[in-house]
Amino acid sequence: MSYKYHAMVIGAHPDDSEFGIAGTVARWTSEGKRVVYVICTNGNKGTTDLKLTPARLTRIRESEERAAAAVLGVEDVVFLGHDDQTLEDTPQFRKELVKEIRTYRPRIVAAPDPYRRYIWHRDHRMAGQVALDAVYPFARDRLAYPDLFKAGFMPHKVDELLFWGSDEPNYFVDVTKTYKTKLAALRCHKSQLSQFNKGWEDWLKDMHRQHADKHKYELAEAFHRAVVEY
pLDDT at 230 (0 to 100):
81
- Provide the whole-model pTM: 0.97
pLDDT at 108 (0 to 100):
98
Which domains are seen in the chain, by residue range?
5-227 (3.40.50.10320)
Which of 46, 119, 127 lies closest to 87 in space, CA to CA?
127
pLDDT at 68 (0 to 100):
98
pLDDT at 195 (0 to 100):
83
List the Cα angle 54/48/68 in 5-degree steps. Answer: 70
Q: Do 9 and 35 form a contact (C-beta atoms < 8 A)?
A: yes
pLDDT at 142 (0 to 100):
93
> Which ranges of the chain would DSSP assign to H, the alpha helix?
16-30, 54-72, 91-104, 122-133, 146-150, 179-186, 190-193, 200-211
Query: Which whole-number Å values give the CA distances from 127 to 38, 108, 131, 218, in the listed order?
Result: 10, 16, 6, 30
> 171-174 and 220-227 as β-strands: parallel, antiparallel, unpaired?
antiparallel
Q: Is the peptide bond between 137 and the residue preceding it cis, with omega within 30 degrees of 0?
A: yes
Which of 10, 11, 5, 12 lies closest to 32 in space, CA to CA?
5
Which mean pLDDT values do the consecutive 10-residue runs of the chain (230 residues) have? 93 98 98 98 92 95 98 98 98 98 98 97 98 98 96 97 98 98 97 87 96 95 95
